Structure 1
Amino acid sequence: MATRCPCLSGLPYAECCEPLHRGDADAPTAEQLMRSRFSAFALGDADYLLATWHPSTRPATLELDAELRWYRLDIIDRSAGGPLDTHGEVEFEAFWRSPGDRGSQRERSAFVRDGGRWFYVAEA
Protein backbone atom coordinates (compact mmCIF):
# COMPACT_ATOMS: atom_id res chain seq x y z
CA MET A 1 0.00 0.00 0.00
CA ALA A 2 1.36 3.42 -0.98
CA THR A 3 2.00 5.98 1.74
CA ARG A 4 -0.42 8.89 1.62
CA CYS A 5 1.24 12.28 1.10
CA PRO A 6 1.40 14.35 4.32
CA CYS A 7 0.01 17.39 2.44
CA LEU A 8 -3.34 15.55 2.16
CA SER A 9 -3.62 16.04 -1.60
CA GLY A 10 -5.10 12.56 -1.83
CA LEU A 11 -2.12 11.30 -3.83
CA PRO A 12 0.55 8.88 -2.66
CA TYR A 13 3.69 10.62 -1.35
CA ALA A 14 5.72 9.10 -4.23
CA GLU A 15 3.46 10.87 -6.77
CA CYS A 16 3.03 14.16 -4.93
CA CYS A 17 5.70 15.78 -2.74
CA GLU A 18 8.45 13.16 -2.81
CA PRO A 19 9.75 14.08 -6.32
CA LEU A 20 9.99 17.71 -5.15
CA HIS A 21 11.76 16.73 -1.94
CA ARG A 22 14.26 14.60 -3.89
CA GLY A 23 14.93 17.45 -6.33
CA ASP A 24 13.58 15.49 -9.30
CA ALA A 25 10.95 18.17 -10.05
CA ASP A 26 10.03 21.75 -9.19
CA ALA A 27 6.63 22.81 -7.90
CA PRO A 28 4.53 24.08 -10.83
CA THR A 29 2.43 26.39 -8.63
CA ALA A 30 2.74 28.35 -5.39
CA GLU A 31 0.12 26.08 -3.81
CA GLN A 32 2.09 22.95 -4.69
CA LEU A 33 5.21 24.52 -3.18
CA MET A 34 3.19 25.33 -0.04
CA ARG A 35 1.99 21.73 0.12
CA SER A 36 5.51 20.36 -0.36
CA ARG A 37 6.83 22.67 2.35
CA PHE A 38 4.13 21.45 4.75
CA SER A 39 5.13 17.85 3.94
CA ALA A 40 8.76 18.79 4.61
CA PHE A 41 7.76 20.13 8.04
CA ALA A 42 5.78 16.92 8.67
CA LEU A 43 8.77 14.77 7.69
CA GLY A 44 11.44 16.92 9.36
CA ASP A 45 13.20 17.90 6.11
CA ALA A 46 14.85 21.22 7.06
CA ASP A 47 17.15 21.11 4.01
CA TYR A 48 14.18 21.21 1.62
CA LEU A 49 12.59 24.05 3.59
CA LEU A 50 15.77 26.12 3.33
CA ALA A 51 16.22 25.27 -0.37
CA THR A 52 12.70 26.51 -1.18
CA TRP A 53 12.98 29.69 0.90
CA HIS A 54 13.84 32.74 -1.21
CA PRO A 55 17.44 33.90 -0.57
CA SER A 56 16.21 37.43 0.26
CA THR A 57 14.41 36.19 3.40
CA ARG A 58 15.98 32.77 4.10
CA PRO A 59 17.46 32.25 7.57
CA ALA A 60 21.02 30.94 7.82
CA THR A 61 19.84 27.82 9.66
CA LEU A 62 16.57 26.16 10.57
CA GLU A 63 16.01 23.89 13.55
CA LEU A 64 12.76 21.94 13.61
CA ASP A 65 11.14 20.85 16.87
CA ALA A 66 11.35 17.05 16.81
CA GLU A 67 8.44 16.77 19.27
CA LEU A 68 6.07 18.78 17.08
CA ARG A 69 4.02 16.59 14.71
CA TRP A 70 2.38 18.37 11.76
CA TYR A 71 -0.60 16.25 10.71
CA ARG A 72 -3.13 18.28 8.70
CA LEU A 73 -3.04 21.06 6.11
CA ASP A 74 -6.09 23.02 5.00
CA ILE A 75 -5.71 25.36 2.03
CA ILE A 76 -8.11 28.24 2.67
CA ASP A 77 -7.44 30.59 -0.25
CA ARG A 78 -4.99 31.27 -3.05
CA SER A 79 -4.29 34.30 -5.18
CA ALA A 80 -2.32 34.01 -8.42
CA GLY A 81 0.63 31.62 -8.08
CA GLY A 82 -0.21 29.64 -11.21
CA PRO A 83 2.18 28.16 -13.77
CA LEU A 84 2.42 31.48 -15.68
CA ASP A 85 2.50 33.86 -12.69
CA THR A 86 5.55 35.38 -11.03
CA HIS A 87 3.94 36.02 -7.62
CA GLY A 88 1.32 34.27 -5.57
CA GLU A 89 -0.20 33.99 -2.12
CA VAL A 90 -1.57 30.96 -0.34
CA GLU A 91 -3.60 31.11 2.86
CA PHE A 92 -3.54 27.94 4.93
CA GLU A 93 -4.05 26.46 8.35
CA ALA A 94 -1.60 23.79 9.50
CA PHE A 95 -2.40 21.63 12.53
CA TRP A 96 0.18 20.24 14.96
CA ARG A 97 0.45 18.08 18.07
CA SER A 98 3.17 17.77 20.68
CA PRO A 99 3.33 15.55 23.75
CA GLY A 100 1.46 18.02 25.95
CA ASP A 101 -0.30 20.33 23.55
CA ARG A 102 -1.98 20.78 20.18
CA GLY A 103 -2.81 23.73 18.00
CA SER A 104 -2.69 25.25 14.56
CA GLN A 105 -0.93 27.94 12.60
CA ARG A 106 -2.92 30.04 10.16
CA GLU A 107 -0.96 32.15 7.70
CA ARG A 108 -1.15 33.83 4.34
CA SER A 109 2.21 33.19 2.68
CA ALA A 110 3.80 35.08 -0.20
CA PHE A 111 5.62 33.22 -2.96
CA VAL A 112 7.70 34.39 -5.92
CA ARG A 113 8.91 32.62 -9.03
CA ASP A 114 12.60 33.31 -9.54
CA GLY A 115 14.67 31.64 -12.24
CA GLY A 116 11.68 29.49 -13.19
CA ARG A 117 11.26 28.08 -9.63
CA TRP A 118 8.75 28.95 -6.92
CA PHE A 119 10.11 30.11 -3.54
CA TYR A 120 8.51 30.93 -0.22
CA VAL A 121 9.21 34.58 0.65
CA ALA A 122 7.43 35.42 3.89
CA GLU A 123 4.11 35.76 5.62
CA ALA A 124 2.02 38.08 3.43
Structure 2
Amino acid sequence: MASIIHEFAVGADVESAWAALSDVARVNQLITFLGPVTVDGDVRTVDMGEFTIKELVVDVDPKTRRVAYSIQQSPYQLTHHHSIMQILAPESGGSGSRMMWSIDVKPDATADVMAPGVLDAIETIKKSLAG
Protein backbone atom coordinates (compact mmCIF):
# COMPACT_ATOMS: atom_id res chain seq x y z
CA MET A 1 0.00 0.00 0.00
CA ALA A 2 1.30 3.46 -0.88
CA SER A 3 0.92 6.50 1.34
CA ILE A 4 0.89 10.24 0.83
CA ILE A 5 1.55 12.08 4.09
CA HIS A 6 1.87 15.82 4.61
CA GLU A 7 1.97 17.98 7.72
CA PHE A 8 1.84 21.73 7.24
CA ALA A 9 1.22 24.97 9.12
CA VAL A 10 -1.92 27.07 8.63
CA GLY A 11 -2.58 30.55 9.92
CA ALA A 12 -5.96 29.85 11.53
CA ASP A 13 -6.05 28.96 15.21
CA VAL A 14 -6.92 25.39 16.20
CA GLU A 15 -10.60 26.10 16.89
CA SER A 16 -11.18 27.96 13.62
CA ALA A 17 -9.29 25.37 11.58
CA TRP A 18 -11.26 22.54 13.21
CA ALA A 19 -14.57 24.33 12.58
CA ALA A 20 -13.68 24.53 8.88
CA LEU A 21 -12.44 20.94 8.58
CA SER A 22 -15.25 19.35 10.57
CA ASP A 23 -17.96 20.84 8.35
CA VAL A 24 -17.67 18.01 5.82
CA ALA A 25 -20.35 19.50 3.59
CA ARG A 26 -18.13 22.53 3.01
CA VAL A 27 -14.88 20.83 1.98
CA ASN A 28 -15.04 22.97 -1.17
CA GLN A 29 -14.53 26.02 1.07
CA LEU A 30 -11.15 24.55 2.10
CA ILE A 31 -10.15 23.02 -1.23
CA THR A 32 -11.49 25.71 -3.46
CA PHE A 33 -11.08 23.96 -6.82
CA LEU A 34 -13.62 21.31 -5.79
CA GLY A 35 -17.09 21.62 -7.26
CA PRO A 36 -20.43 21.62 -5.42
CA VAL A 37 -20.67 19.25 -2.44
CA THR A 38 -23.68 17.37 -1.11
CA VAL A 39 -23.88 15.12 1.92
CA ASP A 40 -26.46 12.37 2.31
CA GLY A 41 -26.00 10.56 5.62
CA ASP A 42 -22.36 9.55 5.70
CA VAL A 43 -21.79 9.86 1.94
CA ARG A 44 -20.20 13.05 0.63
CA THR A 45 -20.46 13.70 -3.11
CA VAL A 46 -18.29 16.22 -4.93
CA ASP A 47 -19.43 17.20 -8.42
CA MET A 48 -16.37 18.01 -10.49
CA GLY A 49 -18.27 18.58 -13.73
CA GLU A 50 -16.52 15.94 -15.83
CA PHE A 51 -16.66 13.37 -13.02
CA THR A 52 -18.05 12.77 -9.54
CA ILE A 53 -16.23 11.77 -6.38
CA LYS A 54 -18.16 9.87 -3.72
CA GLU A 55 -16.65 9.50 -0.28
CA LEU A 56 -17.73 7.60 2.79
CA VAL A 57 -17.23 9.88 5.79
CA VAL A 58 -15.93 7.36 8.30
CA ASP A 59 -15.46 9.59 11.36
CA VAL A 60 -15.61 13.21 12.49
CA ASP A 61 -13.99 13.24 15.93
CA PRO A 62 -13.99 16.56 17.80
CA LYS A 63 -11.85 15.13 20.61
CA THR A 64 -8.91 14.49 18.28
CA ARG A 65 -9.99 17.09 15.66
CA ARG A 66 -9.82 14.35 13.04
CA VAL A 67 -11.87 13.60 9.91
CA ALA A 68 -11.50 10.18 8.28
CA TYR A 69 -12.97 9.34 4.90
CA SER A 70 -12.69 6.80 2.11
CA ILE A 71 -13.15 7.44 -1.60
CA GLN A 72 -15.76 5.05 -2.92
CA GLN A 73 -16.08 6.40 -6.49
CA SER A 74 -13.65 8.49 -8.53
CA PRO A 75 -11.86 8.51 -11.87
CA TYR A 76 -8.99 6.65 -10.18
CA GLN A 77 -9.06 2.87 -10.33
CA LEU A 78 -8.77 2.50 -6.55
CA THR A 79 -9.09 -0.82 -4.80
CA HIS A 80 -8.45 0.88 -1.44
CA HIS A 81 -8.45 4.46 -0.15
CA HIS A 82 -8.39 5.79 3.39
CA SER A 83 -7.64 9.37 4.32
CA ILE A 84 -7.27 11.21 7.61
CA MET A 85 -7.15 14.98 7.97
CA GLN A 86 -6.37 16.24 11.46
CA ILE A 87 -5.91 19.65 13.05
CA LEU A 88 -2.94 19.84 15.41
CA ALA A 89 -1.63 22.47 17.82
CA PRO A 90 1.04 24.80 16.45
CA GLU A 91 4.72 24.09 16.92
CA SER A 92 6.00 25.09 20.37
CA GLY A 93 5.95 28.87 20.56
CA GLY A 94 4.18 29.13 17.21
CA SER A 95 0.84 30.57 16.26
CA GLY A 96 -1.98 29.30 14.11
CA SER A 97 -2.21 25.51 13.86
CA ARG A 98 -1.02 22.59 11.78
CA MET A 99 -2.82 20.10 9.61
CA MET A 100 -1.82 16.52 8.99
CA TRP A 101 -3.20 14.78 5.90
CA SER A 102 -2.50 11.10 5.47
CA ILE A 103 -3.75 9.08 2.50
CA ASP A 104 -3.33 5.34 1.96
CA VAL A 105 -4.12 3.93 -1.50
CA LYS A 106 -4.02 0.79 -3.57
CA PRO A 107 -2.86 0.20 -6.21
CA ASP A 108 0.43 1.81 -5.23
CA ALA A 109 0.86 3.64 -8.55
CA THR A 110 -2.26 5.67 -7.75
CA ALA A 111 -0.28 7.65 -5.16
CA ASP A 112 1.94 9.06 -7.92
CA VAL A 113 -1.14 10.09 -9.91
CA MET A 114 -2.86 11.67 -6.88
CA ALA A 115 0.19 13.42 -5.37
CA PRO A 116 0.16 16.59 -7.55
CA GLY A 117 -3.54 17.17 -6.82
CA VAL A 118 -2.89 16.73 -3.11
CA LEU A 119 -0.16 19.37 -3.24
CA ASP A 120 -2.51 21.73 -5.10
CA ALA A 121 -5.19 21.05 -2.47
CA ILE A 122 -2.74 21.83 0.35
CA GLU A 123 -1.99 25.22 -1.18
CA THR A 124 -5.71 26.09 -1.29
CA ILE A 125 -6.17 24.86 2.30
CA LYS A 126 -3.32 27.13 3.42
CA LYS A 127 -5.01 30.10 1.72
CA SER A 128 -8.44 29.17 3.10
CA LEU A 129 -7.05 28.85 6.63
CA ALA A 130 -4.73 31.84 6.46
CA GLY A 131 -6.15 33.13 9.73
Task: Work out whether the TM-score is over 0.5.
Answer: no
Give 1 or 2: higher helix fraction.
Answer: 2
- Higher RCO (CA-CA < 8 Å; seq separation 6+): 2
Question: What TM-score, normalized to structure 1?
Answer: 0.33
Question: What TM-score, normalized to structure 2?
Answer: 0.32
